[in-house]
Amino acid sequence: MLSKIFVGYFILALALLSVSLWLPYTNNSQIKLYTTAAGLFMVSAVYFYFALRKLQHTNQQAKQEITKLNIALEAGHESVWEWHLADGNKKITFSPSYCRMLGYEPVNFAKEQSQWQNYLHPDESERIYKKVMQFIADRNPACYENTYRMLHSDGEYRWIHSRGRLIFDNHGQPLSLIGMATDTSAKRQDHDRLLQANAVFEATHEGVLISDHNNTIVFVNPAFSLITGYQSDEVLGKNPRLFKSGRHTKEFYQEMWRSLEEQDYWCGEIWNRRKNGEILPQLQSIRLIRDENGFVTYSVAIFSDISLLKRSQSELSFLAHYDPLTNLSNRLLLHEHIKLSLRRAIQSKTQAALFIVDLDHFKNINESLGHSRGDELLKAAAERLSQFMENNATLSRFGGDEFAVVFDNVSSAAEAATLAQQILTLFDTAFIVDNNEIFITASIGICLFPLSGKSSEEIFRNADTALSKAKAIGRATFAFYTSELTDQAYQRLRIASELRYALENNQLRVFFQPVYSLTKERIVGCEALVRWLHPERGMISPADFIPIAEDSGLITNIDSWVLNTSCQQMKAWLDAGLDLKFVAVNVSSRLFSRIDFTEKVVEALAESQLDPSYLELEITESAVMDDVERADSLLNKLCDMNVRLALDDFGTGYSSLNRLKSLPVHKLKIDQSFVRNLPSDGSDAAIVRAIIALGFSMQLEIQAEGIETLEQAEFLRQSNCILAQGYFFGRPMPAAEFEQLIS
């Protein structure tokens, strides 16, 4: 372009010069005029050439700067927008990056303010538009700033943060409102997760202390202050040595740090000092957090106060009054046991039971063999009963031939009946007294409380009444305080007998319920569930026989059979080319507590030749809480075998963050009780979001169960729950139907 202008001027100058030479002139002044004009045109051509060249260079620099600015804005995820305000113009302009931020092509995006308003979230559209218009009307010289939601092309809303300023003309009238916008959805989600995680820390009853790489305290939660007496401003910036009690040796702390250095984790009982100087025992765990280079950035300590537990143990030991013959607690301590058990049952809303065990016709033993041999028989009976007792039961002898058993936690009358039957079985074998075989039976009276008793005296009286019923119907049996419970107990014993026969005669079936990936939108696994096909009554609901199986102890054999069957079926599906990631098998507390549980898993995998990574074992919270040391060892062995581990019904038991962070589980399953009322129930929604956030922070998979509606599934998907299970995606079905479904 520059060369054309220059050439034009130059040709014009030559033309004038030629005319001046060829035209006939009357005088020298005309010649001078034409030559001067030609010179001016030549000078102008040169001047315009250099001027326009400089302008072109300036424009190129400006374009380069604009390009750099656009690159910088793109790199910083910033997008430009402009509202044109002159003469009431409603036009609005967006940069291509702004349109791409929302998934649209520039040609298809809003060109006017009213069109842009349609992309705003319905709850915010009117408010945001009024705020912008008010800002313009006020001719506000400050920076405009606002955060709102806009519709993305994928149908979801994104959080957008905008800021800008008004541009005014020479008369002070606003020409345009121009600014930049950023998608802050990811930051907002991270912020929400942090809020949820913080809510968990704030609500837990366990103390939490976080220190940095210099072992300087940077965070404590409210429970920390309640336990130690120190407020946060008194300990922040201090060293945890502030709480040392002086009761531990140097070697104790050396062993603690050795464990932290080698495993990034330590857990144990430690004595620390409160602010008032009192020494308190704590169950504490410490976890080191390292950066990508392996350097320690933070350490997290979680502890609980166990002083009340130790004090209760000490007080109970002083209350001990024992029977001199059998070394069992006597009547006085029996009533204390009943009171304590009653208080626990009321507070925890559970059920307990008192058994009175009376030896049938014991008077005949004393009269025929003498009191000394009668005493030996009582001691032998006490020893046999003691071997049967579990951790949640206490045995007493309160009379001549009468024993009492207090069970702190009995889930139902059926479980109580099973326990009673097991006690009666103890007397099937003869007692050896002075080389004499003595056969004797027993009768048992049962009182469930607080259902059938509100005080220790009432509970004892009702159990004694039940004992009289047992004797009246023929002895060598048991009876409840109410006849209805007795009938129910015998009915459940009959079902338990039939269930044992069903297990031995192939009446049980394994059904499979699909597990759906909300992100991949397909079935990725399944859960194995047992069903009972009764030859006369047809298919029996698990709700009718699983509790009986648990009470009778048959659940262990059933679980083992389901484990073997599921492994074999999963291997067959994989060989057939089905794309499944895992089969989940429930593990009852009884099976998990068996010494040979790991061996059973190994045998099932070996017999089926199934890769361990395809097997997922679902363990309940109670199973891993009963015996902490054994549970940790067992779970670590399974984890080393590459078996997947899931914590089932999470949130329904006595969940402990201290325990959860130490468990080598891969997945948390949200119990259906929290899913049932989603998304309408705000409390359930908050709990579900908190569990999901907790799982994400601990890098655990989250699976929700009991999903029955599209609304529930959509809420969970939006809350970043990965896996889902429930009738909405498929009911439990036979293997053939499941194979057909996934195929």
Tell me whether strands 701-705 and 667-670 are parallel, antiparallel or unpaired: parallel
3-class DSSP state for residue 691? helix
Give the model's pLDDT for residue 72.
Answer: 46
645 neighbors 632 (Cβ within 8 angstroms): no
Assess whether 484 and 520 both reside in one domain: no
| Per-residue pLDDT reduced to its tens digit, 18-57 | 655 555 544 566 666 656 665 665 666 566 566 566 656 5
Q: How far apart are CA 420 and CA 473, in angstroms?
A: 16
198 within a domain of the structure (yes/no): no
Assess whether 162 and 213 both reside in one domain: no
Assess whether 578 and 439 both reside in one domain: no
| Per-residue pLDDT reduced to its tens digit, 462-488 | 898 889 888 888 888 898 887 666 666
Give the model's pLDDT for residue 76.
Answer: 47
Confidence class for position 571, pLDDT limits 50, 70, 90: very high
678 within a domain of the structure (yes/no): yes
Give the model's pLDDT for residue 612.
Answer: 92
Among 451-460, 487-496, 535-544, whose mean pLDDT is lowest?
487-496
Confidence class for position 271, pLDDT limits 50, 70, 90: confident
Assess whether 487 and 537 both reside in one domain: no
| CA 40 vs CA 5, 9, 47, 183: distances in Å | 15, 10, 10, 60
Highest averaged pLDDT of the listed ranges 94-98, 499-503, 608-612: 608-612
Give the model's pLDDT for residue 589.
Answer: 74
646 neighbors 627 (Cβ within 8 angstroms): no
Neighbours of 112 (CB within 10 A): 13
656 within a domain of the structure (yes/no): yes
Return the CATH number at 565.
3.20.20.450
Domain count, the chain: 5
Assess whether 455 and 432 both reside in one domain: yes
Burial class of residue 654 (count of CB atoms within 10 Å of its CB; 0-12, 13-18, 19+): exposed
Assess whether 483 and 511 both reside in one domain: no
Give the model's pLDDT for residue 459.
Answer: 92
3-class DSSP state for residue 731? coil
Residue 415 has pLDDT above 80, yes or no: yes
Assess whether 264 and 371 both reside in one domain: no
| Per-residue pLDDT reduced to its tens digit, 359-398 | 998 988 888 888 888 899 999 999 999 888 876 789 999 8
196 within a domain of the structure (yes/no): no
79 within a domain of the structure (yes/no): no
Residue 439 has pLDDT above 80, yes or no: yes
3-class DSSP state for residue 263? helix
Assess whether 521 and 376 both reside in one domain: no
Q: pTM above 0.95?
A: no
What percent of the chain is modeled with pLDDT above 70?
Answer: 83
Return the CATH number at 134.
3.30.450.20
Assess whether 649 and 727 both reside in one domain: yes
687 within a domain of the structure (yes/no): yes
Q: How far apart are CA 639 and CA 665, in angstroms?
A: 8
Assess whether 572 and 514 both reside in one domain: yes
Distance in Å from the first CA to the final CA of the chain: 69
- DSSP-assigned beta bridge partners for residue 279: 273
| Per-residue pLDDT reduced to its tens digit, 275-321 | 888 888 888 889 998 888 888 889 888 888 877 666 666 555 544 56
Give the model's pLDDT for residue 585.
Answer: 92
Query: Whose structure tokens read 């997760």?
Result: 193
Q: Give the domain extent around 436.
A: 324-495
Please provide the average confidence, as pLDDT, over all residues in the chain.
Answer: 82
Return the CATH number at 436.
3.30.70.270
Reported as type and span, the H/E element at residue 612 is none
Answer with the residue of higher pLDDT: 308 or 220.
220
445 within a domain of the structure (yes/no): yes
Show which of 151, 183, 215 is a domain's final residue.
183
Show which of 41, 74, 107 is a domain's final residue.
74
554 within a domain of the structure (yes/no): yes
Assess whether 523 and 588 both reside in one domain: yes
When pLDDT is averaged across residues 1-7 and rounded to a whole number, the result is 56
Give the model's pLDDT for residue 64.
Answer: 53
Among 205-209, 360-364, 528-532, whose mean pLDDT is lowest?
205-209
Show which of 119, 150, 183 is a domain's final residue.
183
Assess whether 591 and 676 both reside in one domain: yes
**Tokens describing residue 316:** 């109970």
Residue 432 has pLDDT above 50, yes or no: yes
